[in-house]
Amino acid sequence: MPAFSRRNCGFTLIELLVVIAIIAILAAILFPVFARARANARKASCLSNVRQLAMGIVTYAQDYDETLPPGASYQPNQTAWYYLIRPYLGANISTSASAIESIVVCPDYKTSYPDGVAGDYPKCSYAPNAYIMETDRAANLAQCNYPADLVLLAPGRNRLTTYGRDDASGDAHSMAARGRHAGGANFAFCDGHAKWMPAPTPWNGRSGAGVVWTSTDYSKPRFYPFE
């Protein structure tokens, strides 16, 4: 009777190394894809935050004779702009401090400063345009000649602040617009719309690709650029 040899069905060392190499190659290809997908998700979440806040500000203004909320306040018994618009952000947000904080902080917000100005306000990673939402006072929407081009909210760095003017109080470095998302950032405008814009974007008046910071004077707009 012929003898049959038994073949070992296990992996050889070479086969195992080939499999490991294939897995490593796939991981090297897929990990950046997954990272970009997560970054895009955070970018979309930030854009949703900015759009929701902008609509809250615009709706607030409609109830107050077109007057925008002040960007900040140093007066007793006054609150930050995002608390003033809380009733216009939905039932859950209007009744929960933690909910309002969830939409005033960008998902990519990273800072060593846990709180707002002097610790009086929760951290906020979006800053209103100081030209139209100043400390303790604000402009009227009727003064905005080009609301679709006029910045309402932009990314701030690490605390509750207004920014956009070269003479605004505070540290310019702290108030710089942050290119958090794919080399750009999400901006909201006075007509309520929001969009992502790359950095650097030309902010010098009503050019085709630019936006403006002032409500009436487009000749010499000033701004703190991306870092």
Global confidence as pTM: 0.70
Decide if 223 is inside a domain: no
Cβ atoms of 48 and 196 closer than 8 Å: no
pLDDT of residue 187: 87
Domain count across the chain? 1
Residue 192 belongs to some domain of the structure? yes
Secondary structure of the chain in the HEC alphabet? CCCCCCCCCCCCHHHHHHHHHHHHHHHHHHHHHHHHHHHHHHHHHHHHHHHHHHHHHHHHHHHCCCECCCCECCCCCCCCHHHHCHHHCCHHHHCCHHHHHHHCCCCCCCCCCCECHHHCCECCCEEEECCCEEECEECEHHHCCCCCCEEEEEECCCCCCCECCCCCCCCHHHHCCCCCECCEEEEEECCCCEEEEECCCCCCCCCCCCCECCCCCCCCCCCCCCC
Per-residue pLDDT of the chain (227 residues), as tens digits, is: 555 555 555 668 888 888 888 888 888 888 887 888 888 888 899 999 999 999 999 999 999 988 888 876 665 555 678 888 888 887 666 556 667 777 888 888 765 544 444 444 556 778 888 778 877 677 788 877 778 878 888 887 655 454 444 333 333 334 445 567 777 888 898 889 998 887 655 444 444 444 555 554 444 444 433 33
121 in a domain, yes or no? yes
In a domain, 213, yes or no: no
Position 209 in a domain: no
Range of the domain at 193: 13-198
Residue among 195, 192, 203 nearest 163 (CA): 203
In a domain, 1, yes or no: no
Per-residue tokens: 221: 């707009």
Residue 110 belongs to some domain of the structure: yes
Whether 31 is covered by a domain: the verdict is yes
pLDDT at res. 145:
75
